[in-house]
Structure 1
Amino acid sequence: MAAATQKIEKVMPLLLRLEKNKNDYFPQAVSLGPYHHGEPDLAFVEAFKPKAVELFVSGGPEIYDESLYRSKIVDIICQIRGCYEESTIGKYSDDEVAAMMLHDASLMIIYMEMSVLDETDQQPDELMMNKILAMMDHLGMLTLAILSRDLLLLQNQIPLCVVELLMDLRYGQGKGEYENLLNRYMNMAIFGEYRQKRITRKPLHLVEAIHMLLVLDCEKTTRRCPWLCCFNAEEDQSGAASTTCCSCKLLKKADLESGGAETKTTHSHGITHRLRKSLACKNQGAAAAKKDNIKSFIHSFRSVTELKAKGIHFKPSPTQSLMDVNFKSNFFYATLQLPEWGVSTKTKVTFMNLVAYELSPSSPANGQVASYITFMKSLMERPEDVKELRERRIFINMLGSDEEVFNIYKDINTHGADNLEIFRAVKDDIQAHYNSSVKTWMAELIHTNFRSPWTITAFLAAVALLAISAGQLYYAVNPN
């Protein structure tokens, strides 16, 4: 199965202009791939990589021979070169690229194997203990902690096909060791525990794999084309909603007429493809644009605290997909479900690089992570909003103060590139509840008068006194 994207791209220069965010795209301890290879600041871990190769292949079916593994990488060297920008990868010979991939992949595999040990109850065998001790002795805890961060950077990636190839050579092909390790590591790195969430498509690199994991089951939220030119979803013959907009149909028709060179015209070609669709349906989308103008995307509700006062309460979503945002409104009570997320020192780096991945020209993403960040930022105007989300177990705060969490989300810049259509239905439902005079009056009455057990007790006592007084009055008038 082919990978979703074709290139490991550098972070776009526009994203590097803000100095306060610039460091979130660059490695601090280890280089993976050619973009940061040979940088002096990363020499400490670079010197350990030959040892990592030896540790990785030890105990395998073949006697340790780096040239054997390198020769297998050379067999797919054209595929590897095609994953990087020619201006960078062209500086290295085939042998140099193969050695680079072997060293980087070996270190990455050993670190991933170490990271998932806490998830199992089994004691590590002798080979694994040797790997752990060697990593600890040579690198230390600080470097290992930074290494986990560097693996999340968009322009610090190697093709996962290299990792799969080496693991098949080391552990045997067809045993599923690569898929098992990748899914376990991503669950541990992102969620802190193994949740048995698995990706179903082969990603090109780790950042793409994490993106897939976080936006699982997002189809229900992204039914319609995100561009203002085309907002009407249709139904196919089976009655299911079709996500193909008028521009997709025009392009598909043109492709078929030209010989079918590109017949896949769904939302799978990133920003460039969406711009092509926008141009293709310029005339057909004029009527839809009048109906769904930009005003329909502007909502007046603000902050968690304000929504709570309007009778909207918060609870964790049943899944941890960033797209699993749901809203349910009752007579005077409503519930907004948001995905649970552990906020740590790596949260900003993770989201910044996922957004950078979505903004890459060849990315198949549809702005899902950027849309989630924008939506969450719209709910947080002050640290008190974070406190409410933390108390509802939506945020698992591993930083210390709510203000730190607030500042992390505040500093993540999506550059207005989020998908306006994602979460639109949820926002519309929230706005409808927010605008309902009856619902908000009842909610504000309860929120104002029953904010603590003492006010509830006082109210019940007052009701009881009124009932007693009414009873006494009744029996005074009707003594029999």
Structure 2
Amino acid sequence: MEDPSANNSREIDEENLIAEDEFPQKDQRYFDGRRRMHKVPQSMRLKKHKEEDCYAPKMVSFGPYNHGLSELRMVEELKPSVLTMIVSSSGKDREFFYYKILEVIDQVRNCYVGVSRDLYDDGPLAEMMLLDACFAIYLMKINVGDDEDMYSHFNQHFGMARLSFAIRDMCLLDNQIPLWVMELSINLIYGNKKESMLLCNCLSSYIFGSCRVKRIPGEDKKRPLHFLDAYHRLLVKENPHEFGIFNRLEIFNRQFRSVTELKAKGIYFKPSSHCLNDVTYKSYKFFGQLRLPIWFFSDQSKQFFQNIIAYEASPESDVRFSIICYINFLKSLIVKPEDVKELREKKILLSNLGDEQVVQVIKEIDTFGIDYISPIFYEVKMRIEEHCNNKAKTWIAELIHTYFRNPWTFIALLAATFLLCLTFLQTYYTINPN
């Protein structure tokens, strides 16, 4: 067999890819021996009667935790042909890629919990990683509209209506392969071509609808562990504050106000960005402005957030509870359809669901009683409370909200004021006829 290293001469962009002569075990950004991919805790899997399992793949498995499920057999049988399609553009045979992954199979195995050699020997595990990495590349290229042949291939075998199920399965916590395996595969297959940005393009298209992200935040310090970790970093970016637990009695002594209640107190809403911890509050003389992140809610939002939350709460996770804080904050803001309507009108909350349905989706997202609060949300809540406790600001706001919210109440106020003035003048001239 040809020496796999014979073709290993491409120059690679170190910012986004693993150099071909630099295996992950030599770089602590990729693997430090302590970060592993845990399954969703059993306590989070307990479901109510007939409730959908948010953590189980519907179409495709990635990694060993869901490998071999009978309901996923259709895609599993197609993975070899996808592998052939992917590697054919490299000019190398599949054995080259297989042996490259086999060289780092111990590092792959150490990324999982309980995946022993009795369960998967080195050869089958390396084969699984190669097939899964190439299928992930296949889905990413289809998602960013980068390959018409792959698009047609998927449509022929599954129909494009099922693409969303496959993409959704890539974001399940129990359904991951090490991100550096995906990057290494992209590197070996495409080298220094435009596909070097495939991962960033795919992730940013999920969030922004366009390929605008050039790198994953914090990757120069410690690379993301898997695809969901990379997605999580883009959603929350970098928080400059140290995460901590505060004395929160002053802001939790009662339920936080909803969107409509805050509006009545003179607090107005504007969109900030697609980063879910981009929440800011600014106080003005007679009103306040709360900037909230933009998010599109669909019937898949619950499942997506449940897996992100499970990732943040999983053992050995070194990420902050940014998404959990965001969901808890959203739950306090949105309690009825009128709250959804207000945020929809302000282009903050986008959805193809009805207002009642969005309220229900948000209610059903379970944060499992985790009520930690980050410095960002803590500061925002404190400043909003200061505004609401200011009698002058809230009195003016309530006056405007009551009498100036539509033309008829404003006209009625003017008419009443005019009549009051006439009554005063009539009384005055009656008493003082001269």
Per the shorter chain, which TM-score range? Answer: 0.7 to 0.9
Distance 1:22 1:465 in 2: 62
Distance 2:257 2:238 in 1: 27
Q: Is the counterpart of residue 82 in structure 1 residue 99 in structure 2? A: no
Partner of 1:113: 141
Contact 1:327-1:334 at 8 Å conserved across structures: yes
Partner of 1:212: 233
Question: Which residue, 173, 176, 193 being the options, matches 1:154?
Answer: 173
Q: How does 1:22-37 map to 2 (within 5 A)?
A: 23-37=53-67
TM-score, reference length from structure 1 = 0.76
Question: Which residue, 346, 366, 383 being the options, matches 1:429?
Answer: 383
Distance 1:342 1:298 in 2: 31
Question: Which residue, 203, 212, 216 being the options, matches 1:186?
Answer: 203
- SS of 2:366 mapped into structure 1: coil
Distance 1:415 1:367 in 2: 12
Q: How does 1:97-176 map to 2 (within 5 A)?
A: 97-117=125-145, 128-172=147-191, 174-175=192-193
| 1:164-184 superposed Cα distances (whole Å, 9 cap, x missing partner) | 111111111x55734x11111
- SS of 1:313 mapped into structure 2: strand
Q: How does 1:343-358 map to 2 (within 5 A)?
A: 343-358=297-312
Unaligned 5+ residue runs, structure 1? Answer: 118-123, 229-291, 475-480
Question: Which residue, 86, 93, 116 being the options, matches 2:121?
Answer: 93
Partner of 2:77: 47
Residue 199 of structure 1 deviates from its aligned partner by 1.4
- Which has the higher mean CA deviation after the structures are superposed, 2-11 or 143-152? 2-11
Q: How does 1:260-275 map to 2 (within 5 A)?
A: none
Go from structure 1 to structure 2 and tell me whether the alpha carbon gap of 1:91 and 1:410 turns closer, same or farther (over 3 Å shift): same
Unaligned 5+ residue runs, structure 2? Answer: 1-26, 429-434
- SS of 1:58 mapped into structure 2: helix
| 1:94-124 superposed Cα distances (whole Å, 9 cap, x missing partner) | 110111111111111011011112xxxxxx6
Go from structure 1 to structure 2 and tell me whether the alpha carbon gap of 1:305 and 1:27 turns closer, same or farther (over 3 Å shift): same
Distance 1:419 1:89 in 2: 39
Corresponding letter in the other structure for 1:392: K
Go from structure 1 to structure 2 and tell me whether the alpha carbon gap of 1:383 and 1:296 turns closer, same or farther (over 3 Å shift): closer
| 1:325-358 superposed Cα distances (whole Å, 9 cap, x missing partner) | 1111223211111101011222112111110001
Residue 441 of structure 1 deviates from its aligned partner by 1.0
TM-score, reference length from structure 2 = 0.84
- SS of 2:237 mapped into structure 1: coil
Corresponding letter in the other structure for 1:412: I
- SS of 1:92 mapped into structure 2: coil
Question: Which residue, 18, 32, 36 being the options, matches 1:7?
Answer: 36
- SS of 2:43 mapped into structure 1: helix
Contact 2:322-2:374 at 8 Å conserved across structures: no
Residue 143 of structure 1 deviates from its aligned partner by 2.9
Go from structure 1 to structure 2 and tell me whether the alpha carbon gap of 1:336 and 1:155 turns closer, same or farther (over 3 Å shift): same
Contact 1:16-1:22 at 8 Å conserved across structures: no
| 1:382-407 superposed Cα distances (whole Å, 9 cap, x missing partner) | 121111111111101122x0111111
Go from structure 1 to structure 2 and tell me whether the alpha carbon gap of 1:460 and 1:195 turns closer, same or farther (over 3 Å shift): farther
Distance 2:258 2:319 in 1: 28
Corresponding letter in the other structure for 1:31: S
Q: Is the counterpart of residue 177 in structure 1 residue 206 in structure 2? A: no
Contact 1:297-1:424 at 8 Å conserved across structures: no
Distance 2:189 2:70 in 1: 31
Distance 1:40 1:203 in 2: 30
Q: How does 1:305-324 map to 2 (within 5 A)?
A: 305-317=260-272, 319-324=273-278
Distance 2:248 2:203 in 1: 39
| 1:426-469 superposed Cα distances (whole Å, 9 cap, x missing partner) | 11111111111111111111100111123334545677888999
Residue 194 of structure 1 deviates from its aligned partner by 3.1
Distance 2:412 2:179 in 1: 64
Contact 1:114-1:132 at 8 Å conserved across structures: yes
Partner of 2:335: 381
Contact 1:301-1:434 at 8 Å conserved across structures: no
Contact 2:61-2:67 at 8 Å conserved across structures: yes
Distance 1:74 1:461 in 2: 84
Q: Is the counterpart of residue 328 in structure 1 residue 282 in structure 2? A: yes
